[in-house]
Amino acid sequence: MTARLVTGAAGLVLGTYGAWLLLSRQDLDRLTGVAVWLAAGVVLHDFVLAPLVIVAAAAAARLLPRPARGPAAVGLVVLGSVTLLAVPVLGRFGARADNATLLDRPYTAGWLVLAGLVLTSVVVATVVRARRGTAGREGRSTDGPSARR
Q: What is the spatial distance between Cα 33 and Cα 42, in angstroms, rounded to a whole number?
A: 15
Asked if 8 and 15 count as a contact pair (C-beta separation under 8 A), the reply is no
Determine whether 145 is exposed, middle or buried from the number of CB atoms within 10 Å of its CB (0-12, 13-18, 19+). exposed
Q: How far is the CB of 141 from other proteins (least distance, A)?
A: 5
Q: Which is nearer to other proteins, 17 or 127 (CB)?
A: 17
- For residue 29, state whether it binds other proteins (rule: CB under 8 A): yes
Q: Which is nearer to other proteins, 130 or 144 (CB)?
A: 144
**Nearest of 60, 88, 59 to residue 74 by alpha carbon:** 60
Q: What is the spatial distance between Cα 118 and Cα 123, in angstroms, rounded to a whole number?
A: 9
Binding to other proteins in span 67-126, by CB under 8 A: 69-70, 72-74, 77-78, 80-82, 84-91, 93-94, 96, 98-105, 107, 109-111, 113-114
Q: How far is the CB of 131 from other proteins (least distance, A)?
A: 19
- For residue 21, state whether it binds other proteins (rule: CB under 8 A): yes
